[in-house]
Amino acid sequence: MNYIIKVICFLTLNIVLAQETAQKLTPAPNYRLASKFSPSNIAKLVHSTSVRPNWLKNGNRFWYQYKTTEGSNYYIVDADKRTKTKLFDNAKMAKWLTEITKDPYDAKHLPRFNFKFVKNETAIRFRVTSTEKVDVTEKEKELTKTDTTSIKKDSTLTKNKKPLKKENKVYHFEYKLGSNALTIIDNKKESEKKWKMWANISPDSTIVLFSKNYNLYWMDKENFLKAVKDEKDTTIVENQWTKDGEENYSYGGYARGENNETKEKNKDKRKSISGIWSHDSKKFVFQKGDYRHIKDLWVINSVANQRPTLETYKYHMAGEQEYYKPEVLIFDMPSKKINRIKLDTTIQQDINIYKAPIKKSNFSDEFKPALLLSKKNKIYYSTKSRDRKRINICVADINTGETKTLIKEELNTYVEEKPLVLFNNEQELIHWSERDGWAHFYLYDSNGKLKRQITKGEFHAEKFVNINEKERVLYFTANGVTKNQDPYYEHLFKINLNGSDLKNLNAGDYNTNTSMSDSNKYFVSNYSRVNTVPKSELRNNNGNVVLSLEEADLSQLMATGYKFPEPFKMKADDGITDIYGVMYKPFNFNEKLTYPLLEYVYPGPQTEAVNKSFSVRMDRLDRMAQIGFIVVTLGNRGGHPSRSKWYHNYGYGNLRDYGLADKKYVAEQLADKHAFIDINKVGIFGHSGGGFMSTAAMLVYPDFFKAAVSSAGNHDNSIYNSWWSETHHGILEEKDDDGSIKYKYVIDKNQSLAKNLKGNLMLITGDVDNNVHPGGTIRMANALIKANKRFDFMLLPGQRHSFGNMTEYSFWLRADHFSKHFLNQEPKSVDIIEMNRDKPLRH
């Protein structure tokens, strides 16, 4: 009897063990499924997902393009009439284009149009390039004749003389809305408009400013029109205004991104000068910066066309005692005199000059000069202390430069700012502030006296949208007003300037993106969540739906087996703070398998890498999951600014470790909730700040995070740009006995923990990254080598911060890394088969 009992127990134990073993089975890496959702393939499956209105100047009208699996359609909407009609009939347009150009078109395959509304917005003009070859333009003919003449001079070359050049014929069309014909305007191709790269045109078009050899130049309209026709016209009269400009203390002409070869090639060319015009075109306000004392940084492009090229640029690193020296100059057009705003140049500070907002109906205009906020003789600007803890909002007289402070803000962390709003004949101001722990709008008079707080409560007022001055109503976006929703969902609101009658104008459990008409009577609302089909509608300023516009066509995407990700909410490591995230599963998910967990991270603090709306950018999330992982994104304390100031500034003074405890604790909660997550196989990856954070996680929690891929990481923030590091981590101002200020910056670096590495780490960087310098990744590698650690390292030649055309390659490096260490399979082929499979073979 005892023997039978022992046998039964043995068999039972083996059954249990077999069940546990089956539950521990991990999926095989599915590279084919991941390649199915490459960016190029996704572009064939999903087209338009939102309406981007192009507001017109006449009435409350806009046009937009929307593409589905049936092709592109163009619509014009009249909000007042509540009508949505096609801008033209696609079949008729295809017929007309075919008849005129002799090239075949059909309704589903029209070219992409670049419309320009003309004749009081009753007609559109656009160009189409045909396959027919014609002689080059007259200007190019002359150049060809010159070349031919020179060839004739050498008898040995006449036999090889090239014929005159040909080019594709261009048709410049006009279509009168509602008509039944297409008119040819001319056959001139659109000019390259190289002048747009350098010309700063006054609002009245009478004078054009530009930079040359580090100085300010100007020309009148007559000479500018010559330059539009031919920039090399020797009869163009240029007028030099300044003579004291020099490199890194110049009047425009900034050369960021130029290497030693292109810098020499372009040194005598006209270049741009950024500045802000007075509305009457009589003044030009320019912020001149002195960078001469800022130290240089370099990157070398080893895969340049011929010789490797050197790029030298000024780069201020955190904690360096030197700082940029700004000054604000006021150029008077009639007298050609130069004045300046009276600033305290003895302190280290940043200057921000407020601009007038651009009307939505002017967005598509070719000519839209930057204008001062004030239409009167005033310049509104702000000064921010080097430690970003103090900000002053000031106003200066445009004629004298005399200035006064209107509003002061001061915090113990850092002060954020938004554009200033000026209204009521410039008698009132609306200022955005986080002074009570939440972002809100405050009403001031023109002398800087606080009249009242407009919005208040435990929510985040995000952005000024519009104002109805007559009815004294403010329109703005906000987060977290509805307490039972994800606080990151943004909505459009209105409120009276006296603080009454707050109203959500596009309520619903969705994230929204809006575009309001200049009249503030209507707005387009695009709305979705990560797990819903995006929709678009037109609403009025009371929040009522006027028209349903579009619903995204996801039919082909769904036919592939695509499944929406799953939002979730967990607790932060403090057990109190809500953390919001999204889970991405393989589309062939099998609940009987156990999946490694990968966290895709970006720590902020200026944002969090957690999608709130449906997105087709899948390369780091949905697509990574298809390899055979559960991929999650989640926030962390110290992350997104659209919550409380406390939440946003949680990491102040601890910019390395502040988000890691939350990442670890949420992973543990997810594993407790879902049996299909293997808590013993947790990986982490990210780019830029995420590259920094993913490596930090491996070193701070080496027994928890087992593998990481860190790309373009700022592992050593002491060699990253001062704006980001000093703002979000903090820098101390210390006064010496003589009253001079010294700046003290101390921050934890990833390489100081290199000895802690236990898991499998891959580092990737581009070698010409002039944002997060490759030196950060190389220093991390150096520390790991000195600690006798094994790790993987990849340098992407010729790549900037985003990796450009090697983004796809970096995806498969990441897939290989996690497949090898978590799925126990490593690709053996030298070729990345998934990148080569769908490419056509060419000889």
Which H, E and C letters describe 38-66, residue by residue? CHHHHHHHCCCCCCCCEECCCCCEEEEEE
Residue 191 pLDDT: 77
Residues 393-399: what's their mean pLDDT?
A: 97
Residue 580 pLDDT: 97
Crossing angle of the two packed helices 689-700 and 774-786, in degrees rounded to 10:
20
**CA separation for the pair 710, 715 (Å, rounded):** 10
Is the Cβ–Cβ distance between 505 and 493 less than 8 Å?
Answer: yes
Helix ranges restricted to H, 548-675: 555-559, 622-626, 645-648, 660-673
DSSP-derived secondary structure letter, 341 = -
Residue 609 has pLDDT above 60, yes or no: yes
Residue 799 has pLDDT above 80, yes or no: yes
Element (H, E) at 808: helix 807-822
Residue 838 pLDDT: 72
Token readout for 624 is: 């990574």
**Domain parsing of the chain, residue ranges:** 25-45+557-836, 54-152+162-192, 199-271+274-393, 418-553
Give the sign of the dihedral formed by CA 138, CA 144, CA 145, CA 147: positive
Residue type (1 letter), 575: G
**CA separation for the pair 604, 418 (Å, rounded):** 18
Residue 257 pLDDT: 84
Residues 94-98: what's their mean pLDDT?
A: 97
Strands 325-332 and 338-340: antiparallel
Report which of residues 164 and 707 the model is more confident about.
707
Residue 655 pLDDT: 87
Strands 705-711 and 677-687: parallel
**CA separation for the pair 109, 126 (Å, rounded):** 16
Q: Which residues have C-beta within 8 Å of that of residue 273, sequence separation ≥ 6?
A: 200, 209, 210, 211, 216, 251, 252, 253, 286
pLDDT band at 152; cut points 50, 70, 90: very low
Residue type (1 letter), 381: Y
**Edge-first strand listing for the sheet containing 61-68:** 54-55, 61-68, 71-78, 83-86
- For the beta carbon of residue 5, count every other beta carbon within 10 angstroms: 9
Q: What is the pTM of this model?
A: 0.92
Strands 677-687 and 595-600: parallel
Residue 482 pLDDT: 96
Token readout for 792 is: 């993987």
Residues 742-770: what's their mean pLDDT?
A: 96
pLDDT cut 90: percent of the chain above it: 82
Residue 617 pLDDT: 82
Token readout for 137 is: 């333009």
The CATH-assigned architecture of domain 199-271+274-393 is 8 Propeller (2.140)
Question: With helix as H, strand as E and coil as C, how does 660-710 read?
Answer: HHHHHHHHHHHHHHCCCEEEEEEEEEEECHHHHHHHHHHHHCCCCEEEEEE
Token readout for 576 is: 């109190």
Residues 610-626: what's their mean pLDDT?
A: 90
Residue 207 has pLDDT above 80, yes or no: yes
Secondary-structure class of domain 25-45+557-836 per CATH: alpha beta
The 10s digit of each residue's pLDDT in 447-479 is: 999 999 999 999 999 999 999 999 999 999 999
3-state secondary structure at position 612: coil
Residues 241-259: what's their mean pLDDT?
A: 91
- Highest mean pLDDT among 140-149, 364-373, 757-766 belongs to 757-766
Token readout for 50 is: 């939102």
Residue 158 has pLDDT above 50, yes or no: no
pLDDT cut 70: percent of the chain above it: 94
Residue 613 pLDDT: 96
Rounded to a whole number, what is the largest CA-CA distance in the chain? 116
Report which of residues 114 and 276 the model is more confident about.
276
The 10s digit of each residue's pLDDT in 318-327 is: 999 999 999 9
Residues 4-18: what's their mean pLDDT?
A: 49
DSSP codes of every residue in 290-313: E-TTSPEEEEEETTSSSS-EEEEE
pLDDT band at 7; cut points 50, 70, 90: very low
Count of residues in the chain:
843
The 10s digit of each residue's pLDDT in 252-277 is: 988 788 889 888 899 999 999 999 99
Residue 493 pLDDT: 98
Helix ranges restricted to H, 339-434: none
For 320, phi then psi, to 5°, come to -70, 140
Q: Where on the phi/psi map is residue 269: left (φ > 0), alpha (ψ -120 to 50), or beta?
A: beta
Is the Cβ–Cβ distance between 613 and 530 less than 8 Å?
Answer: yes
Token readout for 773 is: 């310098």
Q: Which fold has domain 418-553?
A: Neuraminidase (2.120.10)
- Taking all residues of the chain, what is their mean pLDDT, rounded to a whole number? 92
The 10s digit of each residue's pLDDT in 21-32 is: 445 699 999 999
Residue 6 pLDDT: 54
Token pair 């926030």 in the structure block, residue: 635
pLDDT band at 370; cut points 50, 70, 90: very high
Residues 181-186: what's their mean pLDDT?
A: 94
Token pair 């790309």 in the structure block, residue: 711
Token pair 């704006």 in the structure block, residue: 723
Q: How far is residue 695 CA from its own chain's centroid?
A: 24
Token readout for 776 is: 């950060």
Residues 540-546: what's their mean pLDDT?
A: 97
Residue 765 has pLDDT above 60, yes or no: yes
Q: Which residues have C-beta within 8 Å of that of residue 374, sequence separation ≥ 6?
A: 380, 395, 422, 426
Residue 155 pLDDT: 42
Q: Which residues have C-beta within 8 Å of that of residue 459, sequence separation ≥ 6?
A: 438, 478, 479, 480, 481, 487
